[in-house]
Structure 1
Amino acid sequence: MNIANEWLLAYLALGVFVGFFAGLLGVGGGAIMVPMLTTLFAAQGFPREHLVHVALGTSMAGIVITSISSLRAHHAHGAVRWDIVKGVAPGILAGTFAGTFVASRVPTAPLAVFFSCFTAYVAVQMILNVKPKPSRELPGVLGLAGVGAGIGGISAMVAIGGGSLSVPFMTWCNVKIQHAIGTSAAIGLPIAVAGALGYLINGWGAPELPEFTVGFIYLPALVLVSAMSSLTAPIGARLAHRLPVAVLKKVFAGVLIVLSAKMLHTLMAG
């Protein structure tokens, strides 16, 4: 099967967009990739049964590359709280890997609805801008591991790098927004590795998958999106350290609202 040039260009353009917002907002890019890949895959005639599964798996694999690029840029600005990363990493790995087994057994339509409702909820929380108590602090080692498991499990279900969960959690615990974004970029890496491995295993041997698909990972989209996102993620990361907090939160919420609406539109149109 030959892939038309317009689809290849679409994947390249998506990579530019994903990388920029991954660096800017500390997200792995999955919240952007999943609805867009679902739309592109549907237009290409991919089997509806595994439409969202392939979008989720491809997104998780792509986040591996995007997270590395975004992480390096934020680390260069001294914005990564490695103490937090070490605390949540064990729970992240376990929760994410387990979550892929659940997601792979849920039909396409419920997965799309869950993704849309989740992103809309997170966006509303950011818009309301509820202020944390001045005395609120990060939990201890066990608490961080538990939070990591929760973030990992949900992230696997919606194929995100965890930024839409970890950024609000850290700011709620009075972590500076720029540090929360930079730390979220680091947290996204173990999420992506465990998630990509899980979707690879769960999709292996699945029937009627399109050509160039390994497990639930579509290789042409993975390669092209990752190539471009690794170039634009550092640009977004630099901008994140120049914008005021209010602007960052509004951009974050606005992107999530648009994408949750896009996912619902794709579902209803199908």
Structure 2
Amino acid sequence: MDVLFILVISCLLLGGVVGVMAGLLGIGGGLIIVPVLTYLLAELLQIAPQETIVIAIATSLSTIIFTGISSARAHYRLGNLQRHIIVWCGFGIGLGAIVGAQIASAIPGTALKLIFACLVIAIALYMLFGRRVESDNSATKPKLATIGITTGTLSALMGIGGGALLVPALIWYRVNIRQAIGCAAFSGIVIAVFGSSSFVVSGWDYGQLSQGYLGYIYWPATLSIAATSVFTAPMGAKLGQQMNTQLLKKIFAVFLVIVSIRMLWGL
């Protein structure tokens, strides 16, 4: 059977799972896409291990463009997008996403895997044991820009939408939870556009469009994942109204720790 066909089918299934989990738990798909795609690229396309992680991160970011637009539109209709938050956070996030993508393109694949795995473990531990806390300070424009730069850099470095990082940071500065989630949904698009563009530029000589590449982005995987995730995300959101999502988040966090340890074990 053709390996490209197997890859496309695998990514369609991956997109379906990612969409449900994103809608159900409000978690960016990159936490799932990057490790799975790293494995698929190495096993099916025989891509060198030091290159798979960069391609997986770049491709993961590109899928967020499609899913993020749908999510942001929903939050706009619900009135959860506050202009001053998304403008100042968006400014910092755009800059940070460019920086993060350039760092990811420049460092060795083994080091990038190590960074990704460690950051995922940190996010998973926060999901398991973290609590929503607030400071006595409100979110000023410089603070919003700083939050954006930090979130954008780390998100582009990991290939995620940034909600797991941005929402707790905004809540800390007393931003309403719904507005924080809405801002994260919009910011995911900014991260994806700027981060993906940066990966295209930095990896321009890596592959050709005829081979399925645009820079470091592998488009057959991008389109396959997006094709199903945009449809299953609303299903996950509806399912979340009927389930104990806090318990599911803890189960998912344990899964992330196991996946990250497996990545570290393979270094």
Same structural fold, with TM-score higher than 0.5 when normalized by the shorter chain? yes
Q: Tell me which residue corresponds to 2:91.
A: 90
Amino acid at match of 2:105: S
* Per-residue deviation, 1:46: 1.4
Partner secondary structure for residue 104 of structure 1: helix
255, 258, 263: which one pairs with 1:258?
255
Distance 1:27 1:206 in 2: 30
Give the 3 Å change call, closer, same or farther, for CA 256–204 of structure 1 in structure 2: farther
Count of matched residue pairs:
266
Q: Following TM superposition, by how much is the alpha carbon of 1:105 offset from its aligned partner in structure 2, in angstroms? A: 1.1
What is the letter of the counterpart of residue 262 of structure 1?
V
* Cα deviation, residue 86, structure 1: 1.8
Give the equivalent residue in structure 2 for 1:132: 133
Shift of 1:238: 4.0
Deviation string 1:13-64 (CA, Å, 9 cap, x unpaired) is 1111112222334444111111111111121111222110000110111111
Q: Give the deviation of 1:179 after TM superposition.
A: 3.9
Deviation at 1:121, TM superposition (A): 1.0
Inter-partner Cα distance in structure 2 for 1:200 and 1:161: 18
Equivalents in 1 of 2:49, 2:210: separation in Å? 11
**Contact persistence 1:93–1:191 (CA under 8 A):** yes
Q: Hey, what's the Cα distance between the residues in 1 that align with 2:129 and 2:143?
A: 26
Aligned equivalent of 2:146: 146
Match of 1:23 in 2: 23
Shift of 1:143: 0.8
Find the counterpart in structure 2 of residue 3 from structure 1. 3
Distance 1:217 1:49 in 2: 15
Q: Once the 2 structures are TM-superposed, how far is the Cα of residue 124 of structure 1 from its aligned partner?
A: 1.5
How far apart are residue 158 of structure 1 and its match?
A: 0.5
Deviates more, 1:249-258 or 1:215-224: 249-258
Q: Is the 8 A contact 2:207 2:214 kept in 1?
A: no
Tell me whether 2-11 or 58-67 shows the greater mean CA deviation.
Answer: 2-11
2:116 match: 115
What's the secondary structure of 1:191's corresponding residue?
helix
Task: Give the aligned residue type for 1:101.
Answer: Q
| CA distance 1:210–1:165, change in 2 (3 Å) | farther
1:161 aligned partner: 161
Question: Alpha-carbon deviations, 1:165-223, whole Å to 9, x = none?
Answer: 01221233344444433331111010000010011111111379993122111111011
The answer to whether structure 1 residue 70 and structure 2 residue 71 are counterparts is yes
Q: Report the aligned-residue RMSD.
A: 2.7
1:236–1:86 distance in 2 versus 1, CA, 3 Å: farther
Shift in alpha-carbon separation, 1:77–1:252, aligned structure 2, 3 A: farther
More displaced stretch, 216-225 vs 79-88: 79-88
Q: SS of 1:224's equivalent?
A: helix
- Report the equivalent of 1:268: 265
Tell me if structure 2 keeps the 8 A contact 1:113–1:264: no
- Whichever residue aligns with residue 157 of structure 1, its letter is L
| Superposition deviation, residue 96 in structure 1 | 0.6
Residues 58 and 218, structure 1, Cα contact 8 Å, conserved in 2: yes
Aligned residue in 2 for 1:35? 35
Residues 233, 72 of structure 1: alpha-carbon distance in 2 compared, 3 angstrom cutoff: farther
SS at match of 2:160: coil
SS state at 2:106 partner: coil
When structure 1 is superposed on structure 2, of 138-147 and 16-25 the one drifting more is 16-25
Q: In 2, distance between residues paired with 1:126 and 1:51?
A: 27
Q: Distance in 1 between matches of 2:26 and 2:82?
A: 13
Q: What letter corresponds to residue 105 of structure 1 in structure 2?
A: A
Do the aligned partners of 2:151 and 2:165 also contact (CA within 8 Å) in 1? yes
Q: What is the TM-score normalised by the length of structure 2? A: 0.88
Structure 1, unmatched stretches of 5+, are none
